[in-house]
Structures are given as C-alpha cells and as structure tokens.
Amino acid sequence: MSAPPSPLPDADVEVLRVRDVSSDALAALLAGHGLQLAHVADDAPIPGSYWGEPEAGLVGTTVHARGDTPVHSLLHEACHLIVMPPERRMHVHTDATDSVPEEDATCCLQIILADAVPGVGRERLMADMDAWGYSFRLGSAKAWFEEDAEDARAFLAERGLPHR
C-alpha cells in the first residue's frame, strides 16, 4: 500500500520542482493523456490542491501547479486522472482517490511516467517520493516499485496503461 504524505514536509525538502524541469515536456506528457497543465502564479493559491500549497491540484482534466510544486506531486495528481475512468475525470475537484488499488496504480504510473520528463526519470522520482514522506510497505518507493507493485501493474495493464 502507498500513500502521499500528511502532513506536508518542510518546504525546504530537496526535491525537483516544476520550475526545475521543462514546462513543455510536462505539458506534452499531460496532453498525451488528454489533460491540461495550468501554471499558477508563485504567490497564488493552487486550485484543487488536496494537501495545500505547494502540492498540485486537480479541477476536471486540468492539473494546477506553481513553480515550487514538486514534480512528484504534479505527476501523482495527473496519474490519478489517467487511471480513473474518463467519465469521472470531468467531475473531479481536489480529491481524486476512489480506492486503494487506484491509489497504488497512481503511484506506480507516476514512477513510470517520470522517465518521459527530461531531467527526472524514475530513480530520481522515487528518491523524491521518499524524501517527501510517501509511505510504502517495504520502506521505500524503489523497494515497493520493484518488489511489491504487481497488483498496481496489473491494474494499469488491464486499462491499457504503461505498467513497466
């Protein structure tokens, strides 16, 4: 089982932020899955943020993020939308979780999709997830992804989504 952290860690935790990577690459990745990326001004609240700033937010098929939003957060929220049935996407506002299997598939997919973002990759994303405080049965994102994510991979494969 996996879960995003609560409460949020210190803003000083060293993780890749949206401002550190190609905005075009992030937007293209999301667009490839029928989603939009909305950039939020640095001093503005993030619409649809479940955990609050600087975490990414969801409203419909749009992922909202600021420059200080962690890349893992943007990918996590986007993957919530990607794994859910398309008919649910338009109704999402802030809370996208439907089930534990869907949450696990979201975590697995965010790791996989990190390879599509130049300068990120799955190894860095898993390290950032650990630094931010994600919780996994085997103690780290990497151990979970490599040794315990078969149910999440099956969930993704059944829906025709990347699972390796």
Q: Is residue 137 part of a domain?
A: yes
Residues of the chain with pLDDT under 70: 1-12
Phi and psi angles of residue 65, each rounded to the nearest 5 degrees, phi first = -155, 150
Residue whose token pair is 């210190």: 10
The count of structural domains within the chain is 1
Domain range spanning residue 71? 2-7+14-158
CB atoms inside a 10 Å sphere around CB 2: 22
Q: Is residue 44 part of a domain?
A: yes
Q: Is residue 164 part of a domain?
A: no
The pLDDT value given to residue 1: 46
According to DSSP, the residues that pair with 59 across neighbouring strands are: 62, 93
Q: Is residue 46 part of a domain?
A: yes
Q: Is residue 143 part of a domain?
A: yes
Crossing angle of the two packed helices 100-113 and 121-132, in degrees rounded to 10: 130
The pLDDT value given to residue 4: 46
- E strands, 28-154, are 36-39, 57-59, 62-65, 135-136
Q: Is residue 142 part of a domain?
A: yes
Q: Is residue 106 part of a domain?
A: yes
